[in-house]
Amino acid sequence: MTLITRRAALAGATGLLMAGCDRITTSPTVRKVLTLGEKATLSSQKLVTGRNALAQEFTRADLSPRFRVNGNRLPASADYAAHMTNGFADWELEVAGLVTRPLAMTLAQLKAAPQRTQITRHDCVEGWSAIGEWTGVPLGLLLRHAGVSAKAQYVVFHCADDFSGIPFYESIDMVEAFHPQTILAHTMNRQALSVGHGAPIRLRAERQLGYKQAKYVMKIEAVASLDGIYGGKGGYWEDHSGYQWNAGI
């Protein structure tokens, strides 16, 4: 009988292989090289996609029978709880940063502004998709109204929810911010946006994956750079889970 059984040899070889793989996947140099792919993807997507090229829109017959909730389902803050109790009646959306006229808009004011309704597909980074109907104010309209500066490169969305005390935020660039289908939605499938889906408003940036679609948006900030904002990578998932800032893929 041999001391080294085939099973043990296989397990040993597997262990060695896995350790080798581990050294490659955790190497900082390798990770740096891999980000080149991310840059190439973002540049070429920008190159082939027109600024105003639209995401596919559907009809009501195409709606997902049930649109699953994802991410946080209920922000934990006391402030949010108070807003929820009185139906967001004195809630205000703050528009700040590189703007000449900072705004504070109530839900009623947002609903009284010009609206856009679109039936679009929500694609989670995990792979699933759901189709929903969204109504809201075009973000570009709000930014123009606030007199956004030409120096602004990104729009940051500060949200009411958090993960283990770390606030959720996201960001998009000015092309996506002024895209005609980028709206701050307060209505989903013809009903007031539910708490699970991000009440009172959530972002819909239809050419981006789900993690960009910030829920519970409290404040919008126009900035020249993402440096120094929270972790500096442009979003909660980007800072803490290594997701790419570009959610167009």
Partner 1 sequence: MDATEPVEMLRDASSVAPGPLVYRTHLPVRIWHWINALSIFVMLMSGATIFNAHPRLYWGAYGANFDEPWLVIGRRGQEGFVNLLGLEIPTTGFLGFTENSIRAFPPLVTIPNYYSLAEGRQWHFFFAWVLVISAVLYLLYSILSKHLSRDLALQPHERKFGHLWHDLKQHARLRFPKGEAARAYNPLQKIAYLGVIFGLIPLVVLTGLTMSPMLNAAFPWLLDLFGGRQSARSIHFLCAGGFAAFTVIHLFMVVLAGPINELRSMVTGWYRLPAERMEDRP
Least Å distance, CB 183 to partner 1, is: 15
Structure tokens of 211?
A: 């993690």
Q: Contact 240/163 with Cβ under 8 angstroms?
A: yes
Q: Contact 180/140 with Cβ under 8 angstroms?
A: yes
3-state secondary structure of 177: helix
Q: Contact 185/144 with Cβ under 8 angstroms?
A: no
Least Å distance, CB 124 to partner 1, is: 7
Residue number with CB closer to partner 1 (64 or 149): 64
Alpha-carbon separation of residue 38 from 18, 28, 227, 244 (angstroms): 26, 16, 19, 7
- Report CA torsion sign: 108, 194, 170, 247: negative
Q: Does 185 bind partner 1 (CB under 8 A)?
A: no
Q: Does 224 bind partner 1 (CB under 8 A)?
A: no
Furthest-apart CA atoms within the chain: distance in Å: 84
Q: Does 21 bind partner 1 (CB under 8 A)?
A: yes
Q: Does 25 bind partner 1 (CB under 8 A)?
A: yes
Contact pick of 126, 164, 165, 228 for partner 1 (by CB under 8 A)? 126
Alpha-carbon separation of residue 217 from 58, 69, 177, 224 (angstroms): 26, 16, 14, 20
3-state secondary structure of 238: helix
Q: Does 119 bind partner 1 (CB under 8 A)?
A: no
Q: Binding to partner 1 (CB under 8 A): which residues in 92-111?
A: none
Q: Does 244 bind partner 1 (CB under 8 A)?
A: yes
Q: Does 45 bind partner 1 (CB under 8 A)?
A: yes
Site size with partner 1, rule: CB under 8 A: 52
Q: Does 114 bind partner 1 (CB under 8 A)?
A: no
3-state secondary structure of 50: coil
Least Å distance, CB 102 to partner 1, is: 31
Binding site for partner 1 (CB under 8 A): 14, 18, 21-22, 25-26, 31, 33-38, 40-41, 45, 48-50, 53-56, 58, 62, 64-68, 121, 123-131, 206-209, 237, 241-244, 247-249
